[in-house]
Chains A and B, each alone.
Chain A
Amino acid sequence: MKVVYCGYRGTYGALLTAAIHLGLHEGAGFCDKRHIKKYFEICRLYGEQYGNLIYIGVDEGLREIYILGCKRYFSVIRKAHVHMNRIFKPEENIYHLDVGRLEGILPRIIGFMLARRFSERLCEKLFSYWLIRKYHEFSRMATTIKHKLENGERIGEWELMR
């Protein structure tokens, strides 16, 4: 099974949820300065890779976890992937989870500023503020998704909007 975390950009919320899903931050105080700096660097480097499926890792249930930046085309890409699956018959399920709605507007602003080479320090400060504010929401969502996937339950759109 493949799980694709999608957002406007593939990084920010999608990467954070994927990392939490894989247990990369378990036990670590994620919101310390060093972690935030590293995470910001990844977002800065890969933020503009729209449409590029980025492999993050495999979870305990051997599900492959990916992230994908979809811009405004999440529903189009999801349909395209699902039907490509049927056409080429890889006999594998694929889950698309849009975490963009939980991200809020700040990652869009930070991404915009970074793409136009605005002050990187200001971007990092905004990013730090966003991450500290949103970390627990994403953590809760990743845990719910993981739990539902393990139990083979369906993940509704409303759960991603909470």
Chain B
Amino acid sequence: MKLFYHCYGGAHTSVTCASIHLNYLPNDRIPKTCEFKAIPFYDKMENKELGKPVYMGRDDMGWDIYVVGMKDGKNVVIPAIISYLNANNVSRREVLFVSALVQLHPITAIGGIVSRRLGLAFIGRPMTIWGIRRSYPHLVELVNKVKQNIAAKHDSY
């Protein structure tokens, strides 16, 4: 079973969600700046790598967690992936896509553009962290819902 957290660039919100899911980040408090910087792949995805799923780890229910950047094309990219998996006889139940773009703080978006597109990580990265810390409770809530859903899915098998 594979779970894909996706966002625009696959560098910030999706990585944060995957880290919360895998307990790299706490879900009972807002992490410090240095904790974000210590996450693997945080603010690392290059523009030319968009579409490439990056493996983050395996959770306690045995799901492989990936992050992927899809620009603003999730309505095209996700059906394209699913139809491709169908053509390869991979069951739809084996994959789950979760959009991590919930309550995205505008400062995170601006920081992401400055860091990833303009290459000014020393300005953009602190901005993304500032924005994500503001919307962190929403991300925790999203991950909790996802965990509940996949636990229910497990029970139904």
Residues of A whose CB lies within 8 Å of any CB of B are 2, 50-53, 55, 64, 66, 68-73, 75-81, 83-85, 87-88, 90, 92
Contact = CB atoms under 8 A, between A and B. Distances in A.
A75 B73 contact: no
Nearest to A4: B84
A50 B81 contact: no
29 contacts: A50-B75, A50-B79, A51-B78, A51-B80, A52-B79, A53-B84, A53-B86, A53-B87, A68-B80, A70-B76, A71-B73, A73-B70, A73-B77, A73-B80, A75-B51, A76-B50, A77-B51, A77-B77, A79-B51, A80-B53, A80-B68, A80-B77, A81-B80, A84-B53, A84-B85, A87-B2, A87-B53, A88-B90, A90-B88
A66 B50 CA distance: 23
Contacts, number: 84
A39 to B, nearest CB: 23
Chain B interface category by residue count: 20 to 34
A53 B87 CA distance: 8
B76 A77 contact: yes
A78 to B, nearest CB: 7
A94 to B, nearest CB: 8
